[in-house]
Amino acid sequence: MASKGLRWERLDELRVLIPRQGEMRTEGLVYADEKIFRGLEEDEALTQVANVAWLPGIVGRSLAMPDIHWGYGFPIGGVAAFDVNEGIVSPGGVGYDINCGVRLIRTSMERDEITGRLKEIADALFSYVPCGVGSRRKDFKLKGKDQKGVLRDGARWAVQRGFGAPEDLAHIEENGAIPGADPSVVSPRALKRGKDQAGTLGSGNHFVEVGFVEQIFDEPAARAFGLFKDQVTVFLHSGSRGLGHQVCDDYIKLLMAVGPKFGIKLPDRQLCCAPVTSKEGQDYLAAMAAAANFAFANRQIMYHFIKEAFEKVFRKSAENMGFGLVYDVCHNIAKKETHEVHGQKVRVVVHRKGATRAFGPGHPDLPDDYRAFGQPVLIPGDMGRYSYVLAGTDTAMAETFGSTCHGAGRLMSRGRAKKMAKGRAINRELEDAGITVRSAGKHTLKEEMPEAYKDVADVVDVVARAGLGRKVARLRPLAVIKG
């Protein structure tokens, strides 16, 4: 099925329906206005939305957020739920960077306090937070016996060893640990790849970003989240590193080999999958949870390193600078959740690939201090523009299994971005815009230049108008650290 032969129809100014065709078991639904959809009409991501609808046990529609772009099997920006008894689980529906996610850190400092010290802050962060393949911090190495504890307990493991405080856990999705993790179904190669990567940023689109709150849209929600105008904030974006990549690779190879025994007809072999109830499906979910927990611990450890960097620059304790965790969300995950579908409560495995959980007000899984306002939803943009904080909504619960977009979404492949950036000094362009940048290599800056991404304001506008998230605040970058 090619995108050019795919039928679709516009339901309203924000939603495009892909009707059942071929062997689709359900419809596809893409959240996109005319501007965003024009860029998708020739994109294979639309075909991927339709392809996901072929999979057995799918509940509701195959969904895509406005930051949609082509991915492995499932589109990035894709959301799909499958019945826990009749449905499947697919590694392509999670992606290679399992629990790639974002953490937002607040401080009590204001923009004017750091404006003249951005180079110092950037240098300190680049020194304290390891970038690239492995850890260069000699004072922290994950020992073999500790690694399995990280995979089981996630951020809790890190907190118990002095990286943060117990109260941090309430402000992390799933309290920082996906249940059901089993290190025994993680391969030795995956364990080896993760050995030196706990507390490391990585490269590509991962970053640490120091910024400030430029605008407040919802004062009560912002107050509940601890945000105020001109406040200094820190975004942290990273995931499960080589360990998660290897878990995905291992299970894709396994399911491609054994998949035919399940008799599932696939329009694309990248959608390789297993029934949730099968041994292979259960093993993948347990290994994926272990990798997700590694990512939670990874971000928790880096949170500690970020505080150390600020303490070095300002010669104050993190406590005196008002450091606190707003929230930490997953992007690439498959989770067992209960949702209401056609008036009935259904237990499903929700695949969110390049999508963010956005539970609405009153949901019991939210921390007490946020429950009345909905879950904080963190939407980073590119490193040259702005990012957003939203709040989850009842509409998201009703339409998208409590899900929304995860970022701006790429417009260009990394290869095309590098070609477009040839002869340009991206770091200098960002400096001229008032953004201090530190990077382990020039190639990353070219691949991640702002023009390589959609304008996140356009993406957020769609989800806000569609009711999948409520705008709370907009943040502007001042200093960015890239791998």
- Which CATH number does the domain housing residue 169 bear? 3.90.1860.10
* Domain presence at residue 145: yes
Backbone angles phi, psi at 271, to 5 degrees: -90, 15
Question: What is the C-alpha separation between 38 and 459, in angstroms, rounded?
Answer: 13
- The CB density around residue 384, as the number of other CB atoms within 10 Å, is 18
Angle separating helix axes 241-258 and 279-314, nearest 10 degrees: 170
Question: Which 8-state DSSP code applies to residue 96?
Answer: S
Q: Is residue 406 flagged as an active site residue?
A: yes
* Domain presence at residue 344: no
Strands (E), 143-230: 207-216
- Token pair of 261, please? 């025994």
* Domain presence at residue 397: yes
* Domain presence at residue 31: no
Question: What is the C-alpha separation between 118 and 116, in angstroms, rounded?
Answer: 6
Question: What is the C-alpha separation between 251 and 264, in angstroms, rounded?
Answer: 17
Residue segments in the chain with a per-residue pLDDT below the cut of 70: 1-4, 132-141, 442
Decide if 235 contacts 476 (C-beta within 8 A).
no
* Domain presence at residue 423: yes
Predicted confidence at residue 409, as pLDDT, reads: 78
Alpha carbon 296 to its chain centroid, in Å, reads 12
Decide if 236 contacts 302 (C-beta within 8 A).
yes
The count of domains in the chain is 1
Q: How many CA atoms lie within 13 A of 104 on its CB side?
A: 29
Q: Judge residue 257's burial from the number of C-beta atoms within 10 Å of its C-beta, 0-12 exposed, 13-18 middle, 19 or more buried.
A: exposed
Dihedral sign, Cα of residue 378, residue 454, residue 421, residue 76 = positive
CA distances from 50 to 3, 62, 341, 353 (A): 9, 7, 21, 15
Give me the residue label for tokens 């895509």. 64
* Domain presence at residue 341: no
- pTM for the complete prediction? 0.95
pLDDT tens sequence across 140-150: 667 777 888 99
* Domain presence at residue 66: no
Predicted confidence at residue 445, as pLDDT, reads: 80
Predicted confidence at residue 419, as pLDDT, reads: 79
Predicted confidence at residue 2, as pLDDT, reads: 41
Q: Which domain holds residue 476?
A: 101-335+362-482
Predicted confidence at residue 3, as pLDDT, reads: 60
* Domain presence at residue 23: no
Catalytic residue among 171, 237, 339, 406: 406
